[in-house]
A and B are shown apart, each in its own frame.
Chain A
């Protein structure tokens, strides 16, 4: 696999993770996942409502994709650990997208509880991908307790505002020794490309694709943007210059 993304020893050909929330139908979600070529897709874990059980989402997801259960809805470390253990015991992978979010307005993650949960989950044998505010000190601590990635948010979940926290993410990219996945707030393929050009190892996208007029076409657009951004990063993006520099010869004009 050329230029594979490696997380916890496992290689992935795609650097685009997809969230499965907010699609109008599971059929559209399935087609968007296919168009994105994502190999990691997130799911949430919820109690079954026996009055309206609905369809089984996993039957719409590709068998070869890694199902990444998140701990959304958990407001404390203890809740998150409980949710992750339930998912693993029930046969989902021992990978977890760790989210501990006590704040319903901006959906910002709790750094103290996230670190506490991460530490416990790593000890319990999980591969932990924590969702965090882009705090470089926190990112380092999460790495030190054994997290497989860090997943800093670009802007609040579902806001589509792009890389609002660019400078902090840049510091994390400089310092991290684990893959960095920019997660949340990316609204357009250009935001994803920009993240990748900066050196992000991957991005996670949900709302921007699921709520597009044509989610399947948007999934493809994000795939192309992630590929373009990655290629540009590897090719070496030029430094910004203060002044103009002519692209054509200065002398010999007719």
Chain B
């Protein structure tokens, strides 16, 4: 699986929520796009990831 352009190992049964927790991003806002489609936050725990997935993980940052 590719996350933000980098290869990422997939844990067994990995969901978006478990991946974010593993990356230390369970707090605050993690904005996720899976294969070009935005994923609703409420579905993070239900979306099982696959090896062929490409994710973008973004967040709010300082800006005007």
Partner of A48, one of B39, B41, B59, B63: B59
Partner of A86, one of B25, B28, B38: B38
A206 CA to B62 CA, complexed, in Å: 10
Interface residues of B in 10-52 (CB under 8 A from A): 23-25, 27-33, 38-41
Task: Find chain A residues with CB under 8 A from B38 CB.
Answer: 82, 85-86, 88-90
Q: Mark A92-114, 1 if CB is under 8 A from B, else 0.
A: 10000000000000000000000
A21 CA to B62 CA, complexed, in Å: 4
A56 and B29 contact, CB distance less than 8 A: yes
Question: Closest Cβ of chain A: how far from B26's Cβ, in Å?
Answer: 11
- Which stretch, A39-47, A215-223, A226-234, touches the partner chain B? A39-47
A31 CA to B41 CA, complexed, in Å: 30
Give the size of the chain B interface in residues (CB under 8 angstroms).
26
Task: Find chain B residues with CB under 8 A from A57 CB.
Answer: 59-62
A22 at the interface (CB under 8 A from B): yes
A48 CA to B56 CA, complexed, in Å: 9
Question: Closest Cβ of chain B: how far from A133's Cβ, in Å?
Answer: 17
Task: Find chain A residues with CB under 8 A from B24 CB.
Answer: 53
A56 and B31 contact, CB distance less than 8 A: no
A82 CA to B35 CA, complexed, in Å: 12
Q: Which secondary structure dominates chain A's binding surface? A: mixed
B39 and A56 contact, CB distance less than 8 A: no
A42 and B59 contact, CB distance less than 8 A: no
Partner of A20, one of B4, B6, B23, B62: B62
A58 and B58 contact, CB distance less than 8 A: no
Residue with the highest number of chain A CB atoms closer than 10 Å, among B33, B58, B60: B60
Residue with the highest number of chain A CB atoms closer than 10 Å, among B4, B58, B64: B64
Footprint of B on A, CB under 8 Å? 19-23, 26, 29, 42-50, 53-54, 56-59, 67, 69-70, 72, 82, 85-92, 157, 184, 204, 206-207
Footprint of A on B, CB under 8 Å? 3-4, 6, 23-25, 27-33, 38-41, 56-64
A-B contact sample (4 more), CB < 8 A, given A20-B63, A57-B61, A82-B33: A44-B63, A56-B29, A57-B62, A89-B38
8 contacts between A and B (CB under 8 A): A21-B62, A42-B63, A42-B64, A70-B63, A85-B38, A86-B58, A88-B38, A89-B39
List the 7 closest A-B pairs by CB distance, nearest first. Answer: A44-B63, A19-B64, A90-B31, A56-B28, A206-B64, A89-B38, A43-B60
